[in-house]
Structure 1
Amino acid sequence: MVFFVGECAFVHAADNRTLPNFSDYSVDVYHGTLKIPNYYKKVDGEWRDDWGKMVSPIGINFAGKYYIGTHSCGGGCRYYTLSNLVSGSESNALDMFSNDERRSQKTSDGRNYVTSLVSQPNSKMLVAQYHIDRSAISEEECRERIFYLSDDGKEVRPITKTVNFCDERH
């Protein structure tokens, strides 16, 4: 059962398979000139961050005006940046998903995991998929939680509880 509080949809815990859709959080996409942060550079036709690591092409990929940058720092280390491509400003809203030298991500039973984020340019809904390290006896485990970006772009707020599967439609 999905119910709404203000602008947010929440999934009733008893019905984990009924997850919100990106279209439930639709926004208009900005089509003007983009203000790309100075730590991104296009080198030989590829986009790179300030560490010289490749990133996806810079463009709006979240909430109508934001670019989620996925950065590698090697060996399962990953961190995210959130750039407002209309104003050129940055937000720390995605820091909670980073797995870098300052933050390691572990389940309550001590297993490491890496988070991948799934977004769409025309939606402020964000899907966090938690890929948990395989043990000797099982395949990779994937869990998922859905969030939305606050109107000020300063934080992501949960819509659902974490579910013990990853929805393939993302």
Structure 2
Amino acid sequence: MKTCARPCAGSAAASSPSGRAIDPATKRPAARLPSRANSASMEIDETTERSSGPRTGDPVIEVFHDGDCPVCRLEVGYYGRLDRAGRIDWVDITALTDAQLPAGKSRADLLGRFHVREIGGDRWHVGVDAFARIWRELPYWRHFAFLFFVPGLRGLAELGYRGFLRWQRWHRARRQQRRRQTA
């Protein structure tokens, strides 16, 4: 066993079909993607590390994502697997308490549009700019990040992102309504 230097997901008794531990609080596979919600160090075994090996760098950006959105979880999981250098700190907004939210940002702000913050500063990237900033840190994708700054393509990307946000808000409202009905 070794100790994770950065915040890691909580320990769990159960495991998913892929063999990863299940976090009892969220009923999801324990994140290979660290969350600020679990700020204490914990012991992890070698199987919870990325298959490509341990993280080699300090994070340079924090990505605030909606851990309750299935599409967002898939995308963040994919990006997290690519981030072998550990340059991105993945923060699930839904797992944060109000006290853990970044200064000057509300939960509604963070859930309303994708947010990325530069570590060591207060520079924020929001929406399409946030995706471009993430891509600049990822292998393979860093070669395409410039596409977000091509005027016609940027407009199309923003239009597509706004369409996704409408769907996501509708889908979030449906999930919340189902939860209220089953509770």
Which TM-score applies when normalising by structure 1? 0.30
- Which structure has more helix as a fraction of its residues? 2
- Which structure has more strand as a fraction of its residues? 1
Which TM-score applies when normalising by structure 2? 0.29
